[in-house]
């Protein structure tokens, strides 16, 4: 099978490419850019005139909810949502039911993902058995079963000693550990950023120190153990500074932030709208701007959707009683592009954080259109204006503060390994 994507504006930060060139695909991979190789006279032609041709997006945080929570989402439904949003590769967390602490669960998720034929799915395995924070999981077996990293998903470790040993064991086998820095003694019971807004509205606060104290501890243990580390969903200005210092000191660390933390602040709390209940919480304008600054300087490596679909009832309650999380994977790119409209970010920087950046964090062969890469790409209409309403939604979760909004830019087609898995009807 041969494909020729013609006349599109190909933008690929991994090769510093932004030009109108043709893209050639054969046997699932990209075989040429620009001039047609020999034997492409009979290739299927995709006309991308006036459109962008981008590497498929890579999302480091998409909860598929299966197995265990299929009322919120399934591998098929959330996979479809992902490719609708142009996400061709995703990393999913271990907090399913059963938890991803055995090779069988890891294999089940990947098999179901293959069967669904949607995005490439890479599970994270549990760092400890049952995420209980006490006994180490079979980290090597989980890795052999396809887990790309290990994480305790922000749940407490029994002690710092257990954490330290888990990291040393992971370092022995050169495994990647994902941290969600949170000192639960400080964050417990909180549902919003501790600040003027939460104080005024009587919502229990989560102080910045809940994140930064845990982050400092984790960084010290990373330094001591030498483990490869990825810090997930940072929300505070100070965290960006701490990661910058760690990187400058030569530590092998990367980090990501959730899209909503880049677009929203705790100002929205005045509405008492549970759709804004996310963890870590939406913080101050200074935090938001510093996170964006971190994207510009490269301290922050990736933007993720932190996609967390919920059934409708999970959000129909008073603010603190709602379940945290938003489901935004299918509008990741149009929402992320708002960061450019504000004059904050250049297109190349932004796309790096959605493709090559997250792929590099997890060592995934994805996020690039270089010759030899898997032909995971999307065709994007950067000018289309549309409303994200229930009729277009693919995720089982309808929980988003952005639902019903007018968006600018839309994914028209998504290809994985040269196969079209989504086309806007």
By annotation, the residues acting in catalysis are: 306
Q: Which of 1, 19, 158, 321 binds another protein (CB under 8 A)?
A: 321
- Rounded least distance, CB 325 to another protein, Å: 16
**By C-beta, is 199 or 385 nearer to another protein?**
199
Write the CA distances from 131 to 121, 164, 165, 331, integer angstroms: 21, 15, 15, 31
* Segment near another protein (CB under 8 A); pick from 121-129, 135-143, 235-243, 310-318: 310-318
Say whether residue 401 binds another protein (CB under 8 A): yes
* Segment near another protein (CB under 8 A); pick from 103-111, 162-170, 234-242, 271-279: 271-279
**By C-beta, is 67 or 207 nearer to another protein?**
207
Contact 382, 356 (CB under 8 A): no
- Rounded least distance, CB 275 to another protein, Å: 7
Interaction residues for another protein, span 106-145 (CB under 8 A): none
Closest CA to 409 of 11, 98, 42: 11
**By C-beta, is 40 or 69 nearer to another protein?**
69
- Rounded least distance, CB 390 to another protein, Å: 11
**Rounded (to 5) percent helix, strand, coil in the chain:** 35, 25, 40
**By C-beta, is 198 or 368 nearer to another protein?**
198
Say whether residue 185 binds another protein (CB under 8 A): no
Q: How far apart are CA 377 and CA 55, in angstroms?
A: 4
| Dihedral sign for Cα atoms in the order 328, 285, 257, 16 | positive
* Segment near another protein (CB under 8 A); pick from 20-28, 159-167, 259-267, 272-280: 272-280
Say whether residue 313 binds another protein (CB under 8 A): yes
* Coil, helix or strand at residue 117: coil
- Rounded least distance, CB 114 to another protein, Å: 36
Say whether residue 195 binds another protein (CB under 8 A): yes
Contact 358, 58 (CB under 8 A): yes
**By C-beta, is 173 or 312 nearer to another protein?**
312
Say whether residue 245 binds another protein (CB under 8 A): no
Say whether residue 279 binds another protein (CB under 8 A): no
Say whether residue 202 binds another protein (CB under 8 A): yes
CB-based contacts of 54, cutoff 8 Å, min separation 6: 10, 11, 12, 86, 351, 355, 369, 377, 378, 380
| Dihedral sign for Cα atoms in the order 169, 151, 415, 33 | negative
**By C-beta, is 169 or 319 nearer to another protein?**
319
Contact 238, 212 (CB under 8 A): yes
Say whether residue 184 binds another protein (CB under 8 A): no
Which single residue is written with the structure tokens 């580390």? 229
* Coil, helix or strand at residue 405: coil
Contact 119, 89 (CB under 8 A): yes
Q: How far apart are CA 392 and CA 77, in angstroms?
A: 13
Interaction residues for another protein, span 204-243 (CB under 8 A): 204
* Coil, helix or strand at residue 196: helix
**By C-beta, is 47 or 272 nearer to another protein?**
272
- Rounded least distance, CB 64 to another protein, Å: 25
**By C-beta, is 275 or 301 nearer to another protein?**
275
Do β-strands 120-126 and 149-151 pair in parallel, antiparallel, or remain unpaired?
parallel
Q: Which of 37, 68, 298, 318 binds another protein (CB under 8 A)?
A: 318
Structure-token pair, residue 336: 């992320």
Binders of another protein: how many residues, by CB under 8 A? 25
| Dihedral sign for Cα atoms in the order 308, 311, 316, 322 | negative
Give 133's strand partners: none
Say whether residue 275 binds another protein (CB under 8 A): yes
Say whether residue 406 binds another protein (CB under 8 A): no
Residues in the site for another protein, rule: CB under 8 A? 194-196, 199-204, 270-273, 275, 313, 316-321, 401, 403-405
């Amino acid at each position: 099978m041969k494909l020729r994507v013609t006349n599109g504006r190909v933008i690929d930060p991994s090769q510093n490419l932004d030009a109108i060139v043709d893209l050639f695909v054969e046997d699932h991979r990209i075989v040429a850019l620009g001039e047609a190789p020999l034997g492409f006279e009979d290739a299927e032609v995709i006309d991308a005139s006036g459109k962008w041709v981008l590497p498929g997006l890579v999302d480091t945080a998409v909860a598929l909810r299966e197995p265990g929570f299929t009322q919120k989402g399934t591998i098929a439904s959330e996979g479809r949502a992902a490719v609708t949003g142009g996400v061709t590769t995703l990393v999913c967390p271990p907090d399913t039911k059963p938890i991803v602490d055995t090779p069988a669960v890891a294999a089940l998720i990947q098999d179901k993902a293959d069967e669904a034929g949607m995005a490439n799915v890479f599970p994270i395995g549990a760092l400890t058995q049952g995420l209980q924070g006490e006994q180490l999981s079979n980290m090597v077996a989980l890795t052999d079963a396809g887990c790309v990293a290990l994480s305790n998903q922000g749940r407490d470790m029994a002690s710092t000693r257990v954490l330290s040993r888990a990291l040393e064991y992971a370092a022995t086998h050169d495994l990647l550990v994902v941290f969600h820095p949170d000192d639960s003694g400080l964050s417990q019971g909180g549902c919003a950023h501790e600040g003027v807004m939460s104080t005024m509205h009587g919502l229990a606060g989560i102080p910045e120190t809940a994140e930064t104290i845990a982050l400092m501890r984790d960084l010290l243990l990373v330094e001591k153990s030498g483990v490869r580390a990825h810090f997930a969903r940072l929300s505070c200005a100070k965290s960006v500074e701490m990661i910058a210092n760690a990187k400058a000191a030569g530590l092998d660390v990367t980090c990501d932030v959730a899209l909503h933390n880049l677009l929203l602040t705790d100002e929205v709390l005045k509405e008492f709208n549970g759709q804004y209940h996310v963890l870590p919480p939406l913080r101050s304008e200074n935090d938001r701007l510093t996170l964006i600054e971190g994207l510009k300087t490269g301290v922050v490596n990736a933007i993720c959707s932190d996609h967390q679909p919920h059934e409708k009832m999970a959000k129909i309650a008073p603010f603190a009683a709602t379940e945290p999380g938003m489901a935004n994977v299918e509008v990741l790119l149009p929402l992320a592009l708002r960061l450019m409209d504000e004059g904050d970010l250049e297109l190349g920087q932004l796309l790096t954080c959605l493709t090559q950046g997250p792929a590099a964090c997890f060592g995934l062969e994805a996020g690039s259109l270089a010759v030899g890469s898997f032909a995971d790409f999307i065709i994007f209409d950067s000018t289309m204006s549309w409303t994200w309403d229930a009729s277009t939604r693919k995720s089982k979760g309808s929980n988003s503060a952005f639902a019903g909004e007018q968006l600018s830019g839309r994914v028209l087609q998504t290809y994985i390994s040269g196969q079209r898995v989504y086309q806007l009807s």
